[in-house]
Amino acid sequence: MDLISHFPVILVINLFIFAFAMPLISRRSNNWATIAASFSLILSFAISITLLLKVLDTGAISYYLGGWPPPFGIEFYIDYLSAYMLIVLTGMGLLIFYYGTASLPFEIGRHMVGWYYTLYLLLIGAMLGIAITNDLFNLFVFMEISAIAACAIISIKKDRECLEASFKYLILSAMGTGCYLLAVALIYMITGVLNFDMVREVLVDNIALYPNNVLVALALIGVCFCVKAALFPLHVWLPDAHASAPSPSSAVLSGLVIKIYAIALIHLMFRAFPLELFYQVPLTEIFLWLGAIAMILGSIFAMTQDIFKRMLAYSSVAQIGYVFLGIGLFNPTALLGGLLHILNHAIMKSMLFMIAGIIIYTKGLKKVREFDGMGSQLRWTMTAFIVGSASMVGIPITGGFISKWYLATGAFEADRPFFIGVIIASSLLNAIYYFPIAIRAFLGEPKPENLPVRPVLKHMLIPVVILTVLVFYIGMSPQEVVGILELAIDKLFAQ
Amino acid sequence: MEIIDNLVQNYFYLVAIILFIIGMHTMLTHSNLVKKVIAMNIMDTSVFLLFVAVGYVHGGAPPLVEIPAGTETYINPLPSVLILTGIIVALSVTAFALSLVTKIYEYYGTCDADEIADLRSEE
Q: Which of A382, A367, A358 is nearest to A449 (CA)?
A: A367
Each residue's pLDDT tens digit, A324-334: 999 998 889 99
- Rounded Cα distance between A88 and A55, Å, is 15
Q: Are the CB atoms for A371 and A297 separated by under 8 Å?
A: no
Q: Are the CB atoms for A73 and A66 separated by under 8 Å?
A: yes
Each residue's pLDDT tens digit, A154-208: 999 888 888 999 999 999 999 999 999 999 999 998 888 899 999 999 998 888 8
Residue A448 has what pLDDT?
A: 65
- Rounded Cα distance between A428 and B37, Å, is 42
In tens digits, chain B (123 residues) has pLDDT values of 778 887 787 788 888 999 999 999 998 898 999 999 999 999 999 999 998 888 888 777 777 777 777 777 888 888 888 999 999 999 999 999 999 999 999 998 888 888 888 888 876
Neighbouring residues of A69: CB distance < 8 A, sequence distance ≥ 6: A75
Q: For residue B104, give the nearest of A137, A163, A192 by CB distance.
A: A163
Residue A424 has what pLDDT?
A: 92
**What residues of B are in the A interface, CB distance below 8 Å?**
20, 23-24, 27-28, 33, 36, 40, 43-44, 47, 50-51, 54, 76, 79, 82, 85-86, 89, 92-93, 96-97, 100-101, 103-104, 107-108, 116, 120
CA closest to B109 among chain A residues: A160
Q: Are the CB atoms for A152 and A241 separated by under 8 Å?
A: no
Residue A362 has what pLDDT?
A: 86
| Residue B80 amino acid letter | S
Q: How many residues does chain B have?
A: 123
Residue B14 has what pLDDT?
A: 87
- Rounded Cα distance between A36 and A417, Å, is 51
Helix/strand/coil percentages in chain B, nearest 5? 75, 5, 20
Neighbouring residues of A145: CB distance < 8 A, sequence distance ≥ 6: A122, A125, A126, A129
Residue A99 has what pLDDT?
A: 93
Q: Chain B: nearest CA to A427, how far in angstroms?
A: 33
* Subunit contact A147:B93, Cβ cutoff 8 A: yes
Give bridge partners of residue A186 from the DSSP assignment. Answer: none
- Rounded Cα distance between A81 and A48, Å, is 12
Q: Which of A321, A385, A314, A319 is nearest to A355 (CA)?
A: A385
Residue A281 has what pLDDT?
A: 87
Q: Which of A130, A6, A150 is nearest to A65 (CA)?
A: A6
- Rounded Cα distance between B87 and A124, Å, is 23
User: pTM value?
Assistant: 0.94
- Rounded Cα distance between A127 and A139, Å, is 10
Residue A105 has what pLDDT?
A: 86
Q: Chain A: nearest CA to B118, how far in angstroms?
A: 13
Q: Are the CB atoms for B14 and B7 separated by under 8 Å?
A: yes
| Phi, psi (deg, nearest 5) at residue A174 | -65, -35
- Rounded Cα distance between A302 and B121, Å, is 20
Residue A450 has what pLDDT?
A: 61
- Rounded Cα distance between A209 and A213, Å, is 9
* Subunit contact A182:B104, Cβ cutoff 8 A: no
The domain in which residue B42 lies consists of 2-122
Burial (0-12, 13-18, 19+ Cβ within 10 Å), A102: buried
Residue A108 has what pLDDT?
A: 86
Cα separations in angstroms, A397 against A346, A390, A462, A470, A473: 17, 9, 22, 11, 8
Number of domains in chain B: 1
Each residue's pLDDT tens digit, A345-358: 999 999 999 999 99
- Rounded Cα distance between A206 and A191, Å, is 9
Q: For residue A188, give the nearest of B23, B44, B54 by CB distance.
A: B54
Q: Chain A: nearest CA to B70, how far in angstroms?
A: 26
Neighbouring residues of A76: CB distance < 8 A, sequence distance ≥ 6: A8, A9, A62, A63, A64, A65, A132, A133, A134
Q: Which of A384, A375, A377 is nearest to A439 (CA)?
A: A375
Each residue's pLDDT tens digit, A472-486: 999 888 888 999 999
* CATH number of the CATH domain containing B42: 1.10.287.3510
- Rounded Cα distance between A411 and A403, Å, is 12
A 10 A CB-CB count for A24 gives: 12
- Which residues does chain A have with pLDDT short of 50? none
